[in-house]
A and B are shown apart, each in its own frame.
Chain A
C-alpha cells in the first residue's frame, strides 16, 4: 500500500504557540489530502482538506500547505488552545483506496 509518513508522533506546545505536523507520501497520482482530528474516545473528524491543484488553504486558525513536487503536505495550527489537544491524522487517496498517517498526538499546555 501507499507509504504515508507522519511526523512528529507526539508534539507538546504552550498555549498560544503554533504547531506544525508534516506528512510525506510517494504516489504522485494522489490528489486529495485531508486532515482529521480525533479527540480521546471519539471518532475522527475532518478539519480541513486540500486538493492537488491548490498550494494552500486556510480556515481560521488552521491551514494546510501542499508541495506536490516534494510530495509533502503540512497542517499548521496557530494560536493553539487547550481544546486543540487531540490526535491528528493526515490522509491521502491512491486510486480508489484511502490511507492515513500514523497520527500525531498534540498536547497544548495551558
Chain B
C-alpha cells in the first residue's frame, strides 16, 4: 500500500530533550516536507526536500533540523525542544515538487512540557 509512515503518533517530552520524529514513504516520491498544524494558523511549512541531500527552509524552520540521506526517509529533529513547539506535525510527500499533490502521514501530536 502506498503510504507515508510517521512515528511516533503521540509524544510528550520535556524542554531541552532532543527528539526525532521519523517519516518514511514507499512511493519513490522526490519531494518531502514537514508541516506543523496549529489552531487558527493552518498548516505551516517547516522544511522541505526536493531530493536526496537537498533540503531547504520553509516558513517556520527555527528550532528544527532535517536530513535527507535516502530518498524514502525524511526525519524531523528537535535538538532542544521548547513549549512553543507543542503542535501537531505532519510529514508529506509528493511525486516531483510543490506542483503535485501531497500524501500525508498520520501525524505526530507533540507536547513539550
**What is A's interface to B at a CB cutoff of 8 Å?**
1, 6, 31-32, 34, 36, 43-46, 49, 51, 89, 93-103
Contacts and interface: CB of A to CB of B under 8 A. Distances in A.
| Residue among B35, B59, B99 with max Cβ neighbours from chain A (10 Å) | B99
B45 A98 contact: yes
B43 A100 contact: yes
Contacts of A98: 33, 45, 48, 98, 102
A94 B98 CA distance: 8
Contacts of A32: 98-100
A86 B41 CA distance: 16
17 contacts: A1-B45, A6-B42, A32-B99, A32-B100, A46-B101, A46-B102, A51-B99, A94-B98, A95-B98, A97-B48, A97-B98, A98-B45, A98-B48, A100-B42, A100-B43, A100-B44, A102-B41
Given A93-B99, A99-B45, A102-B42, A44 B50 contact: no
B98 A103 contact: no
Given A96-B50, A96-B56, A101 B98 contact: no
B97 A96 contact: yes
B105 interface: yes
A49 B101 contact: yes
A43 B99 CA distance: 20
Given A1-B59, A96-B50, A45 B45 contact: no
Contact of A45 (B44, B99, B100, B104): B104
B101 A34 contact: yes
Nearest to B109: A41
B106 interface: yes
Given A32-B100, A44-B104, 13 more contacts: A1-B59, A32-B98, A32-B99, A43-B106, A44-B90, A44-B102, A46-B101, A95-B98, A97-B58, A98-B48, A98-B102, A100-B43, A102-B41
Contacts of A93: 97-99
Given A43-B90, A43-B105, A97 B59 contact: yes
Nearest to B57: A97
